[in-house]
């Protein structure tokens, strides 16, 4: 039976990455079908890569609850798209940060269920955390954010290490949500600092 911590992280990550994919599709001026395709691939892409790498059947991903959660999230965003599209960059970074944190946690916990091995846990966190975002950006015809920002890989690797060290005790709501919050804050701070740095450099030129 899945733990409460796992269910919380899974739900947060699924909605966040679905929203992230939808915002990228809206920014790319895709139609409704594009919003749904990017939302689905962002939510499931990393998990497909992870399962393939660690040798777990991909069919285990397609449970009705997760798919329904993604579709409901995307449907709501399609209805609100005319109001939210003005703030796509701010919201896109926010949801992408939540998805990165929660999916890397989810990937590491998933790997721990099959083998308590450092390499497997870290790689599962990495692929689950950034895989869906890479596929999303490729479909949107832009350079993948995860391949341009080192912080993505660093944070997912750190999450994998924490889960490996914490073992089964890490799968509780408090350590999971604390880690989720810290990773999101670090990523947002890095993005904000980088934007200010580029602005200063541009003004000097």
pLDDT digit string, tens, across residues 171-200:
788 888 899 999 999 988 888 887 665 555
CA distances from 135 to 39, 139, 161 (A): 11, 6, 25
pLDDT tens digit sequence for 114-170: 877 899 999 999 999 999 989 999 999 998 888 887 788 899 999 999 999 987 777
Tally of structural domains, the chain? 1
Distance CA 34, CA 127 (A): 23
pTM: 0.82
Whole domain around residue 198: which residue ranges?
4-204
Q: pLDDT at position 1, please?
A: 45
């Amino acid at each position: 039976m899945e733990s409460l911590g796992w269910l919380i992280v899974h739900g947060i990550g699924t909605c966040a990455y679905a929203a992230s994919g939808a915002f990228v599709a809206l920014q790319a001026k895709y139609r409704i079908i594009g919003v749904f395709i990017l939302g689905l691939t962002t939510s499931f892409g990393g998990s497909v890569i992870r399962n393939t790498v660690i040798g777990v059947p991909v069919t285990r991903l397609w449970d009705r609850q997760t798919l329904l959660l993604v579709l409901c999230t995307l449907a709501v965003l399609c209805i609100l798209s005319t109001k939210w599209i003005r703030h796509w960059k701010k919201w896109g970074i926010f949801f992408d940060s939540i998805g990165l944190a929660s999916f890397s946690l989810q990937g590491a916990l998933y790997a721990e269920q099959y083998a308590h091995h450092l390499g497997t846990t870290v790689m599962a966190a990495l692929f689950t955390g950034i895989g869906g975002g890479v596929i999303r950006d490729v479909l949107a015809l832009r350079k993948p954010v995860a391949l341009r920002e080192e912080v993505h890989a660093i944070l997912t690797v750190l999450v994998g290490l924490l889960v490996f060290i914490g073992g089964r005790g890490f799968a509780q709501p408090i350590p999971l949500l604390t880690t989720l919050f810290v990773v999101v804050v670090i990523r947002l701070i890095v993005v904000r600092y980088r934007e200010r740095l580029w602005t200063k450099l541009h003004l000097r030129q």
